[in-house]
Amino acid sequence: MTDKTTVTGWKLDREEREALLLRFPPAYEHPVADHVTLKADASPDSPLPTAVKGEIVGKTDDRRGVQAMVMRIDGTSNRPGGGFYHVTWSLAEGRRAVESNDVIAERGWESLDRPIPITLTPARF
């Protein structure tokens, strides 16, 4: 086994991603809308998650360069180990995707009128 860590989670379906970016235009110049993290410091041989369906249930924007969508997976938005399931949607120059959880924790999030189902692909990245 190696000492290297990796991220486990889910990739967004590419076709759904494009439709979602049209539905929710990125607020900042760097669209991300790529993945949902389950565990950021997983070992490379850790098991992949089993869920393949999720729902976008909310959104947040700190108005300073971090926009994110809050997810519900397997009935919860709370990620094991802390934080929230989310997709970093877009970033301004100098901002980083890792800041999304802090923005959600500090500002909260606005619920959507109804959840938007999306397809997720278990992945390591």
Q: What is the pTM of this model?
A: 0.92
For residue 4, is pLDDT > 80? no
Q: What is the pLDDT of residue 3?
A: 56
**Contact at 8 Å (CB) between 20 and 90?**
no
For residue 45, is pLDDT > 80? yes
Six-digit token string for 112: 């959507």
What percentage of the chain has pLDDT greater than the value 90? 86
- Angle 72-97-46 from CA coordinates, rounded to 5°: 65
Label residue 81 by pLDDT band (50, 70, 90).
confident
- Relative to beta strand 6-12, strand 30-31 is unpaired
- Angle 70-76-80 from CA coordinates, rounded to 5°: 95
